[in-house]
């Protein structure tokens, strides 16, 4: 997504990656089934301000219970496949998955599958500080056979700040895009053959044309994998 000069641009006031997931699920369903088909889905949107405070304060058990309660509500509403539409909150994916009897499609697994399918192994990872620095996400990618690189301390701080102070509230800045491109170039210089956009909001800022190596947009990959999984047993819309 491009802006004009150095000006900020604010999109809608709704949670950015949630809106993108909804759009992608419907787009992939229509592409798969044709005509006027759209995705049958049940959406539970939490208050991100509350979740961000739990993240910062390290109250992950409480955050997990919030999402587990949401998951139970979705299952009760008839969902037969579960997505957590954020990379960072996969830190509590085991708690959420254990709260329901339906399968949870893990975002890191969908991403790792796409990277391996491309023939690459060494990848850079951009995301929140939690995602880049902790093992819950990197470790799962590495278990899947990937060699994962993250930016240096300054790069990680920059990537994290832009996510929370800009992208999460729909602000897209040209200077932030330029800064991310520098971080990506540094990862490539250290051997990264591709870059995982490991925060769903990063896709609002960075696309394939902004990187010298392939990028892996996790929201898009996750949504596509969900539609494939949901439609794999028949021709009815998910």
- Cα(212)–Cα(25) distance, integer angstroms: 28
Q: Which DSSP symbol is given to 106?
A: -
Of residues 18, 85, 199, 218, which has the active-site annotation? 199
- Cα(66)–Cα(196) distance, integer angstroms: 27
- Cα(53)–Cα(62) distance, integer angstroms: 11
Which DSSP string do the residues of 107-137 spell out, in sequence order?
A: HHHHHHHHHHHTT--EEEEES-HHHHHSHHH
- Cα(202)–Cα(143) distance, integer angstroms: 24
Do 230 and 209 form a contact (C-beta atoms < 8 A)? no
Which DSSP string do the residues of 37-77 spell out, in sequence order?
A: -----------HHHHHHHHHTT-HHHHHHHHHHHHHHHHHT
Establish whether 218 is a catalytic residue. Answer: no
Q: For the CA atoms of 131, 137, 141, 144, what is the dihedral angle to 10 degrees?
A: 180
Do 170 and 11 form a contact (C-beta atoms < 8 A)? yes
Establish whether 86 is a catalytic residue. Answer: yes
Of residues 18, 86, 200, 218, which has the active-site annotation? 86
Question: Which positions are catalytic?
Answer: 86, 199
């Amino acid at each position: 997504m491009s802006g004009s000069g150095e000006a900020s641009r604010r999109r809608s006031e709704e949670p950015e990656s949630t809106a993108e997931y909804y759009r992608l699920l419907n787009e992939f369903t229509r592409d798969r089934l044709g005509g006027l088909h759209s995705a049958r889905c049940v959406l539970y949107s939490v208050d991100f301000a509350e979740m961000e405070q739990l993240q910062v304060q390290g109250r992950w058990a409480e955050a997990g219970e919030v999402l587990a309660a949401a998951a139970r509500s979705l299952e009760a509403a008839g969902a037969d496949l579960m997505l957590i539409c954020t990379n960072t909150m996969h830190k509590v994916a085991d708690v959420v998955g254990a709260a329901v009897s339906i399968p949870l499609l893990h975002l890191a697994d969908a991403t790792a599958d796409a990277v391996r399918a491309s023939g690459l192994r060494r990848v850079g990872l951009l995301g929140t500080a939690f995602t880049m620095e902790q093992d819950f996400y990197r470790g799962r990618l590495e278990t899947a056979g990937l060699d994962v690189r993250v930016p240096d301390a300054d790069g990680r701080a920059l990537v994290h700040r832009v996510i929370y102070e800009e992208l999460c509230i729909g602000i897209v800045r040209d200077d932030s895009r330029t800064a991310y491109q520098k971080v990506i170039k540094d990862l490539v210089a250290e051997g990264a053959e591709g870059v995982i956009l490991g925060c769903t909001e990063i896709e609002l800022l960075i696309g394939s044309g902004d990187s010298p190596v392939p990028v892996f947009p996790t929201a898009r990959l996750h949504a596509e994998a969900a539609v494939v999984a949901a439609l794999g047993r028949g021709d009815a819309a998910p």
